[in-house]
Amino acid sequence: MLVPVFSLQLNNKVFPRTVAVGKFNGKQSCLVGATAGNKVFIHSPRDINPQAQQLEGNISLLNVNQVITSLACGQLDEQLKKDLLVVGTSTNIVAYDIDRNVDIFFKENPDGAHAITIGHWGELPEQLAIVGGNCSIHGFNKKCEDVLWTVTGDNVSSLALLDFNSDGYNEVHRDVKPENVMIFDAAFHRVKLIDFGMTRKCGSYVRRLIGSIPYSPPEVCNAVNNDILVSTAMDVWAFGVLFFCSLTGNFPWEHAQESDVYYNEYIQWHQQYQINRRYKLPSQWYRFSNRLMRLFRKMLDPEPSKRCEIIEINKYYDDRWINSRLNSRRRSSNEDEGVEEDFSSSGSGTESNTITTSNTDFEELTQMMRNSLIGFDNLIPIENQKPSSTVAKTYC
């Protein structure tokens, strides 16, 4: 049974979800909590903040001057080797160094702060003050930068950080599709995945789902039992299909099975390519350059073990992705011929290169992707966005 080891009479009401313990000088634990009158009490074996108002020797008060809805303690700045106090109200959050009696930052947060926790989120390298509000979660670093934002289905009432995948395991999203990709600005500077309901750790087994979608890899579509081994190759396949959709506006196939005409056409080309690199391309793939087809061939390999890693795409950023003449004769897919093959269809290499560049310019590709977005006309350019606001849209 639980036995109290000490009791403290405050003569003030303590609000729920507003009590925490922190080492504000890096050594000694202190108890903090929100009381009536928009104040935070600090209880410790000794006075660690002589400038604060004193109560009965070892209790100090900090005036916040707003109704306190949440608070948390943690090493938001790990270089300080001590805990900071983060206090949330209905409109803002404040990070406070109790040991030095100074504000670290003040941040307006219109979504409110119903719950706060401090710690590492995913692969982000620094500690964050993670704030849950009205249908949203924000993460602020020690510089008050809003480096994390996601939406929730309801108001956030509590938060906790835990390592559910036991460290050392890569997480597999398993549901990469346009509906789960968030665009934060019109220039595509910030793009994030959402909806991790199907995420499982790499190496685990999952049950087969009834039916399939165009993003499902063949090892899922053709599974004959309920023991499907989860691997990062699943996400690589789904991203390859998503890539195709972004550039064309349609799916490459309905499902990755040989009964699908378009998928069967792609698989035949993929298999024959190993023997004859001039084997004709599938009907929906003529618009893509040789370099891009090489990337597709690696990402959309029917054998999971042969698929490339997702970082493979980094090698293709500066390449041409779209052919200069979409209605030209069927071309070879010989990657070794490279750019020269694109030149051969019209006059000199210089002339053809000009045409190709104009058709595959980054701005034109960006516009092509924007045309498939919902509500992009209302997006605020990133340079005009206020630091305290975040705009997000989902594309499909």
Q: If DSSP codes are grouped into helix, strand and coil, which group holds residue 149?
A: strand
What is the length of the chain? Answer: 396
The DSSP 8-state label assigned to residue 250 in this structure reads S
Could you give the angle at the alpha carbon of 156 between the alpha carbons of 150 and 159, nearest 5°? 85
Residues 14-161: name the CATH superfamily.
Answer: YVTN repeat-like/Quinoprotein amine dehydrogenase (2.130.10.10)
Task: Mean pLDDT check: name the lowest of 69-83, 281-295, 340-354.
Answer: 340-354
116 or 380, greater pLDDT: 116
Contact 68, 88 (CB under 8 A): yes
**If you write DSSP's letter for every residue of 262-318 in order, what string do you get?**
HHHHHHHHHHHHTT-TTPPPPTT-TTB-HHHHHHHHHHT-SSGGGPPPGGGGGGGTT
Residue 345 neighbours by CB under 8 Å, 6+ apart: 324, 325, 328, 329, 331, 352
Strand partners of residue 183: 191, 393
- Write out the two tokens for 129: 């003050």
**If you write DSSP's letter for every residue of 88-122 in order, what string do you get?**
EESSEEEEEETTTTEEEEEEE-TT--SEEEEE--T
Give the pLDDT of residue 303: 92
Mean pLDDT of 95-103: 91
Task: Mean pLDDT check: name the lowest of 15-29, 112-126, 148-162, 355-369.
Answer: 355-369
Give the pLDDT of residue 314: 84
Question: Domain boundaries in the chain?
Answer: 14-161, 200-321
Give the residue from 331, 336, 334 showing the smallest Cα distance to 277.
334
Calpha distance 38→65 (Å, rounded): 5
Give the pLDDT of residue 5: 67
Mean pLDDT of 318-342: 50
Per-residue CA distances from 332 to 99, 136, 335 (Å): 70, 50, 9
Give the pLDDT of residue 74: 93
Identical topology for domains 14-161 and 200-321: no
Q: Which residues are catalytic?
A: 175
Could you read off the pLDDT of 29-69 as tens digits, one per residue? Answer: 888 999 888 889 888 765 445 444 444 447 888 888 899 99
77 or 176, greater pLDDT: 77
Per-residue CA distances from 140 to 74, 102, 144, 152, 383 (Å): 13, 18, 5, 17, 20
Task: Mean pLDDT check: name the lowest of 112-126, 289-303, 354-368.
Answer: 354-368
- Of the ranges 161-175, 185-199, 359-373, which is most confident? 185-199
The DSSP 8-state label assigned to residue 49 in this structure reads -
Could you give the angle at the alpha carbon of 297 between the alpha carbons of 296 and 298, nearest 5°? 90
- Exposure string over 90-105, b if 16+ CB within 10 A, otherwise e: bebbbbbbbbeeeebb
E strand or H helix at 355: helix 349-359
CATH architecture of 200-321: Orthogonal Bundle (1.10)
In the predicted model, is pLDDT for residue 272 greater than 90? Answer: no
Burial of 314 (0-12, 13-18, 19+ CB in 10 A): exposed
- Write out the two tokens for 336: 């070794």
**If you write DSSP's letter for every residue of 158-184 in order, what string do you get?**
------TT-SS--EE----SGGGEEE-
Confidence of residue 301 (pLDDT cuts 50, 70, 90): very high
221 or 360, greater pLDDT: 221
Mean pLDDT of 339-344: 32
Q: What is the largest CA-CA distance in the chain?
A: 91
Contact 75, 67 (CB under 8 A): no
Calpha distance 286→276 (Å, rounded): 17
Mean pLDDT of 340-344: 32
Residue at 142: amino acid letter: K
In the predicted model, is pLDDT for residue 81 greater than 60? Answer: yes
